[in-house]
């Protein structure tokens, strides 16, 4: 059933374009039925999973390589599956209306559903290899979706950037996975997690580094955070789905998943908390400086991802619970806020905070959803985001290291989060009404259902935190922590330090909101700093890559046949020659005994012929010498028991000489074209290659030869091939199909030769009809002028 859930997304994805042309306007709702069904099926597993059970399905894929399609449903994957399918339901309905009328909407659905399937596969996979395959599939579908408006040059560049960064991480991840599988002795996550912690393993550090590289690039951690805001070039439903609620959390999922096996070491704690805290601050400060609505949301997503990484780095029981709670809260409000950003664009035509104000009377329902979601983001009581923030502060305060530093960082980040929350909750809706490019109004249910439901869930979970805690979060936190987690969620913890810090950040954040414009003007230096940032580094790297490949293409692929030959031959001579010289014992088969006079004569004549052919000044002489050479070689065949070969050689050589003389006799005589230095260089390469061949033959013929299959042909020639000339039997019986192929090749050559002979320069082949026409014209002309043709 789990497998069907994943595969059905891909099947529906393939059918989506066709379906779209049939059902038109309502396709979004229709397709949304699939995630709804998946959501309901997995929701039915909640009682089982929350009691601490797991569900596992395995299907053999490549049993010989220990790769199987295996799926694991536990608290963590269930939380993700419900988010993916639940938000996916609203996104599909939303996208159907948001992108309505787009000529490629069917294709859009294809990518979106394909992404959904990959993401489900990623969080459900129990096998590292299949997890990696789904991981890369999400990268590819993300690329397709970011670059959906591919006519735009800038969009293509941004899609490319996201792809490069995440694929680079994916490569590292694959290596890390292989190391992990080798270290743990299994590629099944359930077995790896049940096994001992690997923090003492000799491969631990490289393994951790590579896996973290994969997770950090995917989840946009500093210094790889730059691709995420650029991914906002995607249509808004994509941003809402991939780049806030689901895909960017894949890295977080991986860290959470592997925490029981890889977590707990000093390096894990150091790297994750520091990078996480750095990402958190970078993200939110950049968010506070941006004005584009989607860009602010994107940077605040970077902040949330950093927070999650930091919590997973701390790795305590409290931190695990805080992480899953924060993750759920973030998915709910960020999904809603992105969809609202899309509504503002779609219904009012605004993309920037500075262009919008006082829309609450025109869009009351949107305002309500936006305020609920934004207040949850800001962590205002009684919304679910408040609980998430309280848990975050508690986890940081009770962490094992750097409590003070991390607390200061978290509170600082929270001040800016409040600013961003206030921007989203107040700026577009209150104040003086600015006329928007489009007449603003509340959208229909397809666009509004998602934000309203997700925002309302944020309120519901905030008021009744026991619901998510008992049914989902505790099981998820247990999977992250590795042991059952007992904590519970409550809205009111009494007046304590986290609450006071919350109040502090709330008031400072609101103060900052008052002076938002001033803050932006005074922090303009950050803009200047960014030219030394990681994105600039990425651009430099890409430019370097392009100019390097231009250089190497010009050098190696210069289009000069002789240079290719020289390069290839020199490489062969050097490598093979080196290998020969490295042999323990160079035993050359030098043996001049038993030579017969006629053989020595022929070989001697051949040597002279070759030398003369090379130095010949005229083409005809050269051809004559080549003919002589061919006949000499035929004699050698005859001397050494190859009668048929000898006869064939004589025949072919005769035709070759005729052909050369007939076709090439009109060509210019030989000229001295190359310089003396070039000739010396070519002669050196030629002599070295020839010498190498000689040495190789002497080596090979001295070595004990392998068992030839020739004895089979000699034995079976009469009994099975009914022929006494074994060579002939091989050609026309044992290997008859090869001979047929050879005949086919010759036929092709004949056609090619014929057509080239008849193809006149710049003129199409002359047909008989053309000829008749020409003759007719000639006759008419001569009849007129009275001259005989």
Partner 1 sequence: MTTLMAILIGCLYAAAIYMMLRRSVVKLVIGLILLSNGANLLIFTAAGLQRGVPPLIDKGQQMIAGAAADPLAQALILTAIVISFGVLAFAVVLIHRACEVVQTDDMNEMKGTD
What is the closest distance, in whole angstroms, from the C-beta atom of residue 658 to partner 1 in the complex? 11
Q: Looking at the DSSP assignment, which residues form a beta bridge with residue 55? A: 73
Stretch that binds partner 1, among 98-106, 115-123, 670-678, 775-783 (CB under 8 A): 670-678
Among 592, 597, 704, 763, binds partner 1 (CB under 8 A): 592
Does 740 bind partner 1 (CB under 8 A)? Our answer is no
Residues 287, 236: contact at Cβ < 8 Å? Answer: no
Lookup: tokens for 188: 């099944």
Residues 612-641 binding partner 1 (CB under 8 A) are 613-614, 619, 622-623, 626, 629-630, 633, 636-637, 639-641
Candidates 260, 272, 250; CA nearest to 190 is 260
What is the closest distance, in whole angstroms, from the C-beta atom of residue 767 to partner 1 in the complex? 20
How crowded is residue 185: how many other Cβ atoms within 10 Å of its Cβ? 9
Candidates 393, 380, 413; CA nearest to 497 is 393
Among 565, 586, 587, 775, binds partner 1 (CB under 8 A): 565
Q: Taking CB under 8 A as the rule, which mask of x and - marks residues 152-171 in contact with partner 1?
A: --------------------
From residue 141, give the alpha-carbon distance in Å to each of 10, 115, 412: 12, 5, 36
Does 689 bind partner 1 (CB under 8 A)? Our answer is yes
Nearer to partner 1, 291 or 739 (CB): 739
How crowded is residue 504: how many other Cβ atoms within 10 Å of its Cβ? 13
- Sequential DSSP letters for 352-385: BGGG----TTT-HHHHHHHHHHHHHHHT-TTSHH
Nearer to partner 1, 549 or 728 (CB): 728
Among 464, 500, 718, 766, binds partner 1 (CB under 8 A): 718
Residues 384, 454: contact at Cβ < 8 Å? Answer: no
Stretch that binds partner 1, among 108-116, 210-218, 320-328, 683-691 (CB under 8 A): 683-691
Does 244 bind partner 1 (CB under 8 A)? Our answer is no
Q: How far apart are CA 163 and CA 740, in angstroms?
A: 48
Does 722 bind partner 1 (CB under 8 A)? Our answer is no
How crowded is residue 18: how many other Cβ atoms within 10 Å of its Cβ? 11
For residue 68, the surrounding DSSP H or E stretch is strand 67-73
Q: How far apart are CA 331 and CA 337, in angstroms?
A: 10
Nearer to partner 1, 491 or 688 (CB): 688
Nearer to partner 1, 511 or 693 (CB): 693
Does 591 bind partner 1 (CB under 8 A)? Our answer is yes
Q: Looking at the DSSP assignment, which residues form a beta bridge with residue 56? A: 72
What is the closest distance, in whole angstroms, from the C-beta atom of residue 558 to partner 1 in the complex? 10
Q: Taking CB under 8 A as the rule, which mask of x and - marks residues 508-547 in contact with partner 1?
A: ----------------------------------------
For tokens 């970077």, what's the residue? 302
Nearer to partner 1, 529 or 667 (CB): 667
Nearer to partner 1, 511 or 595 (CB): 595
For tokens 């991480």, what's the residue? 169
The beta strand positions in 7-81, using DSSP E, are 55-62, 67-73
Does 661 bind partner 1 (CB under 8 A)? Our answer is no
Nearer to partner 1, 362 or 699 (CB): 699
Nearer to partner 1, 402 or 637 (CB): 637
Nearer to partner 1, 15 or 699 (CB): 699
What value, to the nearest 5°, has the Cα angle with vertex 162 and ends 156 and 167? 120
Residue 715, preceding peptide bond in cis (omega within 30° of 0):
no
From residue 661, give the alpha-carbon distance in Å to each of 618, 627, 763: 12, 11, 26
Among 655, 737, 763, 787, binds partner 1 (CB under 8 A): 655
Nearer to partner 1, 586 or 749 (CB): 749
Residue 727, preceding peptide bond in cis (omega within 30° of 0):
no
What is the closest distance, in whole angstroms, from the C-beta atom of residue 581 to partner 1 in the complex? 17
Q: Looking at the DSSP assignment, which residues form a beta bridge with residue 57? A: 71
Nearer to partner 1, 508 or 613 (CB): 613
For residue 71, the surrounding DSSP H or E stretch is strand 67-73
Does 738 bind partner 1 (CB under 8 A)? Our answer is yes
Q: How far apart are CA 319 and CA 393, in angstroms?
A: 9
Stretch that binds partner 1, among 184-192, 394-402, 519-527, 564-572 (CB under 8 A): 564-572
Contacts of 441 (CB under 8 A, 6+ apart): 347, 362, 363
From residue 361, give the alpha-carbon distance in Å to each of 198, 212, 334, 656: 59, 48, 23, 93
Does 581 bind partner 1 (CB under 8 A)? Our answer is no
Q: How far apart are CA 693 and CA 696, in angstroms?
A: 5
Nearer to partner 1, 400 or 725 (CB): 725
Total residues interacting with partner 1, rule: CB under 8 A: 96
Residues 370, 425: contact at Cβ < 8 Å? Answer: yes
Candidates 205, 207, 219; CA nearest to 267 is 205
Does 570 bind partner 1 (CB under 8 A)? Our answer is no
Among 102, 157, 160, 735, binds partner 1 (CB under 8 A): 735
Nearer to partner 1, 546 or 600 (CB): 600
Torsion of CA 503, 507, 510, 512, to 10 degrees: -120
What is the closest distance, in whole angstroms, from the C-beta atom of residue 715 to partner 1 in the complex? 5
Among 55, 566, 570, 576, binds partner 1 (CB under 8 A): 566
Does 656 bind partner 1 (CB under 8 A)? Our answer is yes
Q: Taking CB under 8 A as the rule, which mask of x and - marks residues 372-411 in contact with partner 1?
A: ----------------------------------------
Does 763 bind partner 1 (CB under 8 A)? Our answer is no
Does 433 bind partner 1 (CB under 8 A)? Our answer is no
What is the closest distance, in whole angstroms, from the C-beta atom of residue 252 to partner 1 in the complex? 53
From residue 702, give the alpha-carbon distance in Å to each of 10, 108, 599, 689: 60, 66, 21, 20
What is the closest distance, in whole angstroms, from the C-beta atom of residue 584 to partner 1 in the complex? 21
Residues 542-561 binding partner 1 (CB under 8 A) are 559, 561
Nearer to partner 1, 266 or 756 (CB): 756
Burial class (CB in 10 A: 0-12, 13-18, 19+), 69: buried
Does 649 bind partner 1 (CB under 8 A)? Our answer is yes
Ramachandran class of 506: left when φ > 0, alpha when ψ lies in -120 to 50, beta otherwise:
alpha
Stretch that binds partner 1, among 135-143, 299-307, 519-527, 701-709 (CB under 8 A): 701-709
Stretch that binds partner 1, among 89-97, 187-195, 469-477, 669-677 (CB under 8 A): 669-677
Residues 686, 573: contact at Cβ < 8 Å? Answer: no
Does 643 bind partner 1 (CB under 8 A)? Our answer is yes
What is the closest distance, in whole angstroms, from the C-beta atom of residue 768 to partner 1 in the complex? 22
Stretch that binds partner 1, among 269-277, 298-306, 378-386, 657-665 (CB under 8 A): 657-665
Nearer to partner 1, 400 or 755 (CB): 755
Q: How far apart are CA 221 and CA 227, in angstroms?
A: 10
Q: How far apart are CA 547 and CA 138, in angstroms?
A: 30
What is the closest distance, in whole angstroms, from the C-beta atom of residue 521 to partner 1 in the complex? 57
Candidates 101, 170, 77; CA nearest to 129 is 170
Stretch that binds partner 1, among 133-141, 398-406, 541-549, 692-700 (CB under 8 A): 692-700
Does 759 bind partner 1 (CB under 8 A)? Our answer is yes
């Amino acid at each position: 059933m789990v497998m069907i859930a994943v595969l059905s997304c891909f099947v529906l994805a393939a059918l989506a374009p066709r379906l779209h042309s049939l059902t038109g306007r309502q396709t979004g709702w229709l397709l949304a039925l699939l995630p709804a069904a998946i959501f309901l099926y997995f929701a039915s597993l909640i009682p089982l999973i929350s009691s601490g059970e797991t569900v596992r399905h395995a299907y053999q894929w490549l049993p010989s390589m220990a790769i199987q399609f295996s799926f694991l449903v536990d608290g963590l994957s269930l939380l993700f599956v419900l988010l993916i399918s639940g938000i996916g339901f609203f996104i599909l309905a939303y996208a159907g209306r948001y992108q309505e009328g787009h000529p490629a909407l069917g294709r859009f659905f294809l990518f979106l559903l394909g992404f959904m399937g990959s993401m489900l596969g990623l969080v459900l996979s129990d096998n590292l290899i299949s997890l990696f395959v789904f991981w890369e599939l999400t990268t590819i579908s993300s690329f397709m979706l970011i670059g959906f408006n591919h006519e735009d040059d800038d969009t293509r560049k941004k899609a490319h950037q996201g792809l490069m960064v995440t694929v680079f991480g994916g490569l590292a991840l694959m290596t890390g996975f292989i190391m992990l599988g080798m270290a743990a002795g299994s590629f099944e996550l359930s077995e790896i997690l049940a096994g001992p912690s690997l923090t003492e393993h000799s491969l631990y550090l490289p393994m951790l580094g590579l896996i973290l590289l994969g997770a950090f690039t995917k989840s946009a951690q500093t210094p790889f955070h730059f691709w995420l805001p650029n991914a906002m070039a995607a249509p808004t439903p994509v941003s809402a789905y991939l780049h806030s609620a689901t895909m960017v959390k894949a890295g977080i999922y991986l860290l959470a998943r592997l925490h029981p096996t890889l977590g707990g070491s000093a390096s894990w704690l150091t790297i994750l908390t520091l990078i996480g805290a750095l990402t958190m601050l970078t993200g939110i400060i950049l968010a506070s400086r941006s004005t584009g609505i989607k860009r602010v949301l994107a940077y605040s997503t970077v902040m949330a991802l950093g927070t999650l990484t930091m919590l997973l780095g701390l790795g305590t029981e409290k931190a695990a619970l805080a992480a899953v709670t924060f993750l759920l809260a973030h998915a709910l409000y960020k999904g809603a806020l992105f969809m609202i950003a899309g509504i503002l664009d779609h219904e009012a035509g605004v993309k920037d905070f500075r262009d919008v104000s006082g829309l609450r009377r025109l869009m009351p329902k949107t305002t309500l959803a936006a305020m609920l979601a934004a207040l949850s983001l800001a962590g205002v009581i009684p919304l679910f985001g408040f609980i998430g923030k309280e848990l975050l502060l508690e986890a940081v305060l009770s962490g094992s290291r750097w409590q003070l530093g991390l607390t200061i960082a978290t509170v600082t980040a929270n001040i800016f989060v409040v600013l961003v929350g206030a921007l989203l909750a107040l700026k577009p809706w209150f104040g003086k009404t600015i006329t928007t490019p489009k007449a603003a109004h509340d959208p229909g249910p397809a666009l509004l259902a998602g934000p309203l439901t997700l925002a309302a869930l944020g309120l519901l979970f905030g008021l009744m935190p026991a619901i998510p805690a008992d049914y989902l979060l505790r099981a998820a936190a247990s999977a992250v922590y590795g042991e059952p987690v007992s904590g519970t969620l409550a809205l009111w913890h009494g007046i304590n330090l986290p609450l006071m810090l919350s109040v502090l950040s709330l008031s400072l954040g609101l103060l900052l909101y008052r002076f938002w414009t001033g803050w932006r003007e005074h922090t303009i230096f950050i803009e200047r700093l960014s030219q030394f940032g990681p994105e600039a580094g990425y651009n430099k790297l890409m430019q370097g890559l392009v100019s390097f490949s231009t250089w190497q293409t010009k050098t190696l692929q210069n289009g000069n046949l002789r240079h290719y030959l020289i390069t290839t031959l020199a490489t062969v001579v050097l490598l093979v020659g080196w290998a020969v010289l490295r042999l323990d014992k160079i035993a050359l088969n030098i043996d001049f005994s038993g030579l017969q006079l006629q053989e020595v004569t022929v070989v001697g004549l051949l040597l002279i012929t070759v030398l003369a052919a090379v130095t010949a000044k005229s083409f005809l002489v050269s051809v004559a010498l080549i003919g002589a050479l061919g006949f000499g070689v035929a004699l050698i065949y005859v001397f050494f028991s190859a009668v048929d070969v000898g006869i064939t050689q004589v025949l072919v050589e005769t035709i070759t000489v005729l052909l050369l003389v007939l076709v090439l006799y009109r060509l210019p005589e030989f000229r001295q074209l190359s310089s003396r230095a070039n000739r010396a260089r070519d002669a050196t390469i030629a002599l070295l290659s020839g010498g190498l061949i000689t040495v190789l033959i002497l080596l090979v013929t001295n070595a004990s030869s392998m068992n030839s299959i020739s004895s089979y042909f000699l034995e079976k020639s009469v009994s099975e091939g009914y022929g006494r000339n074994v060579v002939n039997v091989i050609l026309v019986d044992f290997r008859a199909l090869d001979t047929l192929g050879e005949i086919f090749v010759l036929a092709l050559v004949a056609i090619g030769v014929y057509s080239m002979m008849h193809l006149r320069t710049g003129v199409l082949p002359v047909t008989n009809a053309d000829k008749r026409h020409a003759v007719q014209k000639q006759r008419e002309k001569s009849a007129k002028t009275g001259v005989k043709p």
